[in-house]
Chain A
Amino acid sequence: MTRYALRVASLAVALGLWQALTSLNVDLWLRFSQFPTVTDVARAFAARLSGPDYWTDLTDSLTRILTGFLLAAVLGVATGVLVARSRLAEDLLGPVLEVIRPIPAIALVPVAILLFPSNEQGIVFITCTAAFFPVLVSTRHAVRALTPMWEEAVRTMGGGRWRILGSVVLPGALPGVFGGLSVGIGVSWICVISAEMISGQYGVGYRTWQDYTVVDYPGVFVGMVTIGVLGWLTSTAVELLGRRLTRWLPRTAYVPGARPPRPARSVKSAPAAPAAASGGPASEEARDEHLV
C-alpha cells in the first residue's frame, strides 16, 4: 500500500514542479515562461477528449504498434530460437541480421516508402523491425543459456526435437524472451511515433507534429502525455504477462525493496544450488522489479 502511495506521490511531485516553474514564469537560463502550464495542458486535453480526432489517433497508433509488436514477437522468438539452435541457420542468417541490426529503425523510412504500397504498412514495418532485434537477441541469448541437463533429460526419455522445443527450449527461454519483449515494446513506441511524424496520417505522433507546426504547444504536450501513458500501460501489460507466465521462477530474497517474507508460506530458502540456470533469470526479475 505504501508503495502505491509512493508511486502516486512521485507523479504528483513531478506535476507540481512543472506547474510551479511554468506558472511562476521561472527564467533562469532554462526558460519556463514559454512553457504551457499543467492547467493549460489539462484544458487542452479536456477539449481533445471530447473531439473525435483524439480517439481516432489513439486507436490508429495502438493498432500500428500492436500489429508491429506482435509480428516482431513471433518473428523474433522464432528467429532467435532458430539461430541459437542451428549452426546452419546461424551461419546463413547471422551476418545479415548483424548488419541490419545497428541501423536505427527510423532510418528505414525510405526503405519502407519504396517497399510498401501504403504508409500504414510502412509504419508497421518500421515498428516491427525496431522491436524485432531486442526480442531476437534476448531469445538467442536465453536459449543458449539453458541448462543442458534439461534437454539431456528429455532426450533420455525418448523426446525428439519438437518435444525438446516445446517442453524445454520455449518454456526455459521465456524469462529471457520477456526481457526482450519489455525492451521491444519501448522501442516500438519510439519508432511508431517517429514514423507517424514523418509519414503518417492520423496517429498520436502525427497529431503531435501537426500541433507543433501550428504552434499549439499545449496540444504538443497533450500528445506527449498520451504517448507517455500509453507507453507505460503497454509495457506494464507486457511485464505483467511475463510475470504471470514465469511464476515458476524462484523468488529470491534480494529483490530491491522486497516485501518482508510472508510468514504464512512455508519459508523454504532459495534452492540449494540455484546455479547458472535460475540465477540469471532470477536476477533479471529482480532488476525489472522497479518497472511496474
Chain B
Amino acid sequence: MSTSSETVGTSPETGVSASKESAPSASSEAVAGPPVRGTRLTLSGASLGRPGAPALDDVGLDIAPGEILTVVGPSGCGKSTLLRTLAGLLSPLAGEITQDGHPLTGPAADRALVFQEDALLPWRTLRANVELPLAIRGVPRSERRDQSQAWLERVGLGTQARQLPHRVSGGQRQRVQLARALAARPRAVLMDEPFGALDAQTRAGMQDLLVEVLHGTGATVVFVTHDVDEALFLGDRVALLGAGGLVAVRDVPHPRDRGAHDHPARVALRRDVLTSLGT
C-alpha cells in the first residue's frame, strides 16, 4: 500500500505530536530508536461490521498523529470491530477510512495490533515472538536478536527470553505482546482490551508500563477498553461507543497522571462518561 513505503524507521523524524510528553530519555531512545512519525487515522461516515450485521453506523472520527485515543463502551458495542477495521483486517461497509489521507487497503506493518490474549505463537519463545515482526520487515538476524532482547528487557522480561509463552503468566504474555508490537516501530498501535483478562493489580502495573514504553515513540495509539477508569487514565481523548455508533468524543484533563483521578474536572468527566454510556 502507498503509505507503507514512507513508514517506520526510514526517516528518523522527530515531529512528535504536542500531546506527548517531553523529550524521551537517553536510555529509552537507545531501545526504541528515534521516534517515528505518528500516523493520522480518519474515519468519515464509516459503517463497520460484517456484511449484513453492521455493528457501528456513520462513525466520524479523526485520530491525530501521536495522540492516545481510548475507546470505551459496553461489551458487544463494536469496539473490537472498530479496531480490527483500523488494523485493516475488516473493510468498512460504507464510508471511508484513511491513513494520512490515503484509503486503507489492508493490514500493514505500520499499524500494529495488540490482542486481548493468546496472540503469541505458542511454539516460539518469547524472544522469537518479538523477533517475528522484525523478521518480516527483513531486519538481519543479529540485529533482530539485539532489538528483541532490548525490548524484552524494557518490559521487564529480559531473563525469560527463552521461555515458551505458556510457561509465563498472562500479564507477562501481554508484556511480550506489547514488546512485539513496538519492536517493529509502528506508526500506530491498536490495542484491543490488552489488559482485559488481567487482575486489577497487574492491570495498573501494565498501564504504567504502557505509558512508560510508549513514551517518546511518537506512535498514534488507539486503546479499546470497557473500563472507564482505564480509558480516562490513558487517553488524551476518550471516544464513547454506544449501541450502533459513536456517542461522543471528550478531551481528558491530566492524561496519564495517577494523582489526578480525584481532580474535579476528571470527576466531572467520569460522571459524564458513565451517564453517556447509560450505566
Contact A153 B113 (CB under 8 A): yes
Q: How far, in angstroms, from A159 to B107 measured CA to CA in the complex?
A: 9
Q: How far is the CA of A273 from the CA of B88 in the complex (A)?
A: 27
A-facing mask of B1-19, CB < 8 A → 1, else 0? 0001000000000000000
Query: Is there a chain A Cβ closer than 8 Å to B37's Cβ?
Result: no
A contact residues vs B (CB 8 Å cutoff): 147, 149-150, 152-159, 163, 167-168, 171-172, 174, 246, 248-250, 266, 268, 270-273, 275, 277-278
**Complex Cα gap A277–B132 (Å):** 20
B interface residue numbers (CB < 8 A to A) = 4, 84, 87-89, 106-113, 115, 117-119, 121-124, 132-133, 136-137, 164-170, 184, 190, 197
Could you list 10 A-B pairs, sorted by A, with CB under 8 Å?
A: A147-B118, A152-B89, A152-B119, A156-B88, A157-B136, A271-B118, A271-B165, A277-B118, A278-B122, A278-B166
Give chain B residues whose Cβ lies under 8 Å from the Cβ of A149: 115, 118-119
Please, how many angstroms separate the alpha-carbon atoms of A268 and B163 in the complex?
12
For A246, the chain B residues whose CB sits under 8 A away are 123
- Chain B contacts of A174 at CB under 8 A? 123
* Residues in A whose Cβ lies below 8 Å from that of B107: 152, 155-156, 158
Q: A157-B132, A278-B166 are in contact. Are A167 and B197 (CB under 8 A)?
A: no
Q: In the complex the two chains form, what is the Cα distance from A114 to B13 in whole Å?
A: 71
Of A156, A250, A278, the contact of B111 (CB 8 Å cutoff): A156
Contacts of A153 in B (CB 8 A): 113, 115, 119, 121
Q: Across the two chains, which residue of chain A brings its CB closest to B168?
A: A268
Whether the Cβ atoms of A271 and B119 lie closer than 8 Å is: no
Q: Is the CB of B117 within 8 A of A273?
A: yes
Judging by beta carbons under 8 Å apart, are A158 and B136 in contact?
A: yes
Residue with the greatest number of chain B CB neighbours at <10 A, chosen from A147, A156, A249: A156
> Per a CB cutoff under 8 Å, which of B84, B108, B167, B184 touches A268?
B167
Enumerate chain A residues within 8 angstroms of B170, measured Cβ to Cβ: 271-273
Checking A158, A159, A172, A275 against B118 with a beta-carbon cut-off of 8 angstroms, the contacting residue is A275
Chain B hits for A168, CB < 8 A: 121
Instruction: Knowing A168-B121, A172-B123, A278-B166, say if A272 contacts B197 (CB, 8 Å).
Output: yes
> Which residues of A sit under 8 angstroms from B118, Cβ to Cβ?
147, 149, 271, 273, 275, 277
Residues in B whose Cβ lies below 8 Å from that of A271: 118, 165-166, 170
Q: Is the CB of A155 within 8 A of B121?
A: no
Assuming the A-B contacts A270-B166, A273-B117, are A167 and B108 also in contact, with contact meaning beta carbons closer than 8 angstroms in the complex?
Answer: no
Since A152-B89, A154-B132, A159-B136 are in contact, a sample of 14 more A-B pairs with Cβ atoms closer than 8 Å, ordered by chain A residue number, is A147-B118, A152-B84, A152-B107, A155-B106, A156-B87, A156-B113, A157-B109, A158-B107, A246-B123, A248-B124, A248-B166, A268-B167, A270-B166, A273-B170
Whether A158 lies near B121 (C-beta < 8 A) is no
Q: A167 and B121: CB pair below 8 A?
A: yes
Cβ contact within 8 Å between B113 and A152: yes
Q: Is the CB of B89 within 8 A of A157?
A: no
- CA–CA, A83 and B165, complex, Å: 30
CA distance A174 to B117 in the complex (A): 22
